[in-house]
Structure 1
Amino acid sequence: MTLFFLALAGFLSWIISTVSGGGGALLLTPAVGYLVGARAVAPVVTLTSLLGEPTRIYLFWKDKDIDWRVVCWYLPGATVGALFGAWVFATARAEWLQVVVALFLISTVWQYRFGERERSCPMRAWAFLPVGFVVAFFSGLIGATGPVLNPFYLNYGAIKERMIATKGVNSLAMHLVKIGTYTALDSLTGEYLLYGTAAGIAAAGANWVGKRWLERFSNRRFRQLAIAVMVASGATMLWTQRDTLREVWENSTGWGTMRGRRAGS
C-alpha cells in the first residue's frame, strides 16, 4: 500500500507541476515524509524527479521549447550547488532553510500582484549562474525547491512550454549530481530506491496528461496558476516545519521555559 500511495502522490504532483511550471517535488514532499519518514524525503523525491524529467524533456523537445542559453548559464552553478548541498545533507539539519524558502515562495503572490504583473524585476541569462548554485544547494539539502526558480524564469520572460522545457533539462542534470552524491554517501538505501522508483514511474506518466492540459492555458492563466502553486508549496513547507517554528517561538519568547516551570510545579 505504501508503494501505491507514493505512486498516486507522484502522479498527482507531477500533473500539477506540468501545468503550473514546477512544484511537483515540493508537493510530493509531505506525502513522502508521512509515508516513509522525513529522512527519506531528499533521496526519494530526487529519484522521483530524476525518473520524471526525461519524459518531460522528450515531450517538449519536439516543439523546440528549450532555451539553451539559460541551460548553459544555469548548469555550471547548479552542478556545484547540488554537489555541495547533497554533501551537507549527510551531516546537517536543514529545517530552518525550509522556512526561509517557504516565506520566499509565499511572497510571490505580492511580487506579481496575484498574477496580473508579468515581471517583478529584469532578469538576464547570466544571472542563472548564481541562481543555479543557490537553488541547487537548497535542493540538495532539503530535497526539493522546484517553484523557487519560477520567479526568475518569469522575470526572464520564459513562460508555459518554454519555462517547463528549460527547467526540465536543468533539473535532470542537477538531480543526476544529487543522486550520485547520495549514493556515494550511502544516503540512498535499497528501500528508498524502491519508493523513489514507484513514484518516479507514475510521475513520468503524469507528464503526458499535464502537457495536454497546458496547451489550453493562456499566459495569464498559467502565471496565476504558477503563483498559486508557489504559495501552496510555501504553505506546505511551513506546515511540515511547524515543530521547528514552535521551537523558535518558544525560545525567543521564553514561553517554553515558563511552560516547563509550570509543569514542574
Structure 2
Amino acid sequence: MMVKIVLLFLGTIVAFWISAICGGGASLILIPILNVLLPTSMVPFSLTIGTFTSSASRIAVFKKHISWKIFYWFVPFSIPAVLVGAYLIKYINPNYLQLIVALFLIGNVPQLFKSKKEEAQLEKPYPRYILAIIGFLAGFVSGITGAIGLLFNRFYLKFGLTKEQIVATRAANEVFLHFIKLVIYIALGLYSQMALWLGLAIAAATIVSSFTVKYILPYLSEHLFRKIGYGAMVISGITLLTGTTDKIIKQDKIAFATIHHKGKDETIVSWRNTDLVLEYTIDGGLEIERPIHSQELPPHLTEKYAALKRNYDTIYIEKVFQFRKEPVYEFYCYKKKQLTKFEL
C-alpha cells in the first residue's frame, strides 16, 4: 500500500500543476487511477479530500484574484445541488455519469482550433441566471463523481477571466462544495481506510503543488493558457471515456455479435443478460428485436400464446420494432427440437 501512496503522491503533484495551468482537471486525471485502486463508490471520498485541500491552499495563494461577482451567484445554487448529488450516489451508477462527462469534454475539440481573435469575440459575461444554472449543475455532478474541474472550465474561459482569476475563483467556488461532500460521504459510510490514506496522500501533494505553481503561471501567455486548458479537457475526456467504457462493459456484461442468417445480417447486443437484436434487410430495413416474457404480451395475444403453449414444448417470444410501424411479435415454438415460427 505504501508504494501505491508514494506513486499517487508524486502523480498528484504533477496532475495539480497541470490543473492550475489548465484551469482545472486534476480530479479527472486521477479518477482513472483511483478506479483501479478503489471501488467506484469510494473514489469521490478520496478525491474530495484532495480537492478540498487544493482549493483551500489555492485561495491562500491567489485570494486577491477571486472574482466575487461569480462567487456570489455560483455558490448559493451549488450547495443544495451537491447535497442531492451526494445523496444519490448510493442509487446512481457513477460510471454512466462519468461517461456523459467524458463526451462533454471531448466536445471541446473545436475550441483548440480557434484563433486568438475568435476567442476574444466569444468572451462576454453570461447573464446572472446562467451563473446560477452552472452552479447548480456543478454541485450536482460534483456530488456524484467527486470532480467538476475541467467540466465547467469552459464556462470560466468564456467569461474572460485571467489565468490567475480562473484559478482563484474556481477554488473559492468549490471549497464549500468539497467540505459539504466530505461530511455527506462520511455520514453515508462511503469511505474506507484505504480511501482515507489515498485521500491524505492527494491532499499533501496538492499543498506542494499549490505553493509551487505560482512560479509557473507568469511564464504562460493568456492565449497559451486557454489552449492548454481546452487541450486538457479533450485529453481527459478521451482518457475518462476509455476507462469508463471498459468498466461499464465488464460491469454490465455488454457484448456484441454479428451473424448472417437466411440473407439477413443480425447484430446481437447483450446487456445485463438481456439480448437486443439489430436486424437489417434490404427490403425490410432496420429491425430491433427484444426478447420478452409472456406476461409482457398484449391481451389479444395472450390467448394465442396459451393455445400455442398446449401444442409446443418451449416457446420464445421477441418483440420487433420497425421505424414508423406498429411493433409485431415473433413466436419461436419448439416441439421435439423442431422449430416453428409465427409472426403476429
Compute the TM-score of the two structures, normalised by the length of structure 2.
0.69
Q: SS at the partner of 1:254?
A: strand
- Distance in structure 2 (CA, Å) of the matches to 1:205 and 1:178: 23
CA deviation after TM superposition for structure 1 residue 156, in Å: 1.3
User: Which residue identity does 2:209 align to in structure 1?
Assistant: A
Distance of aligned partners of 1:217 and 1:125 in 2 relative to their CA distance in 1, 3 Å threshold? farther
Distance of aligned partners of 1:114 and 1:39 in 2 relative to their CA distance in 1, 3 Å threshold? farther
User: Which residue identity does 1:52 align to in structure 2?
Assistant: S
- Distance in structure 1 (CA, Å) of the matches to 2:142 and 2:13: 21
Superposed CA offset, 1:173-192 (max 9, x none): 11011111101111123332
Q: Would the aligned equivalents of 2:65 and 2:168 in 1 still touch at CA under 8 Å?
A: yes
User: Which residue identity does 1:213 align to in structure 2?
Assistant: I
- Look up the match of 1:128: 131
Q: Would the aligned equivalents of 1:46 and 1:143 in 2 still touch at CA under 8 Å?
A: yes
- Look up the match of 1:165: 168
Moved more, 138-147 or 237-246: 237-246
Pairing of 1:115-194 with structure 2 (within 5 A):
116=116, 117-118=118-119, 120=122, 122=124, 123-194=126-197
- Distance in structure 2 (CA, Å) of the matches to 1:168 and 1:5: 25
- Look up the match of 1:262: none
- Distance in structure 2 (CA, Å) of the matches to 1:245 and 1:218: 42
Q: What is the identity percentage for the equivalent residue pairs of Structure 1 and Structure 2?
A: 29
Higher normalized strand content (fraction of residues): 2
The total of aligned residue pairs comes to: 256
The structure with higher relative contact order (CA 8 Å, sep 6+) is: 1
Q: Would the aligned equivalents of 1:115 and 1:224 in 2 still touch at CA under 8 Å?
A: no
Pairing of 1:63-82 with structure 2 (within 5 A):
64-82=64-82
- Look up the match of 1:224: 227
Pairing of 1:18-167 with structure 2 (within 5 A):
18-61=20-63, 64-111=64-111, 113-114=113-114, 116=116, 117-118=118-119, 120=122, 122=124, 123-167=126-170
Match of 1:5 among 4, 7, 19: 7
What is the RMSD of the two structures over their aligned residues, measured on CA atoms?
2.3
Higher normalized helix content (fraction of residues): 1
- Distance in structure 2 (CA, Å) of the matches to 1:35 and 1:184: 22
Superposed CA offset, 1:124-155 (max 9, x none): 34422111111221111122121011111112
5+ unaligned residues in a row in structure 1: which ranges? 259-265
- Distance in structure 2 (CA, Å) of the matches to 1:39 and 1:12: 25
CA deviation after TM superposition for structure 1 residue 165, in Å: 0.3
Rg larger in structure: 2
Distance of aligned partners of 1:130 and 1:5 in 2 relative to their CA distance in 1, 3 Å threshold? same
Whether 1:254 and 2:255 are equivalent positions in the alignment is: no
Moved more, 116-125 or 31-40: 116-125
Superposed CA offset, 1:42-65 (max 9, x none): 11011110112111111101xx21
- Distance in structure 2 (CA, Å) of the matches to 1:58 and 1:140: 24
CA deviation after TM superposition for structure 1 residue 208, in Å: 2.1
Q: Would the aligned equivalents of 1:10 and 1:48 in 2 still touch at CA under 8 Å?
A: no
5+ unaligned residues in a row in structure 2: which ranges? 258-266, 278-344
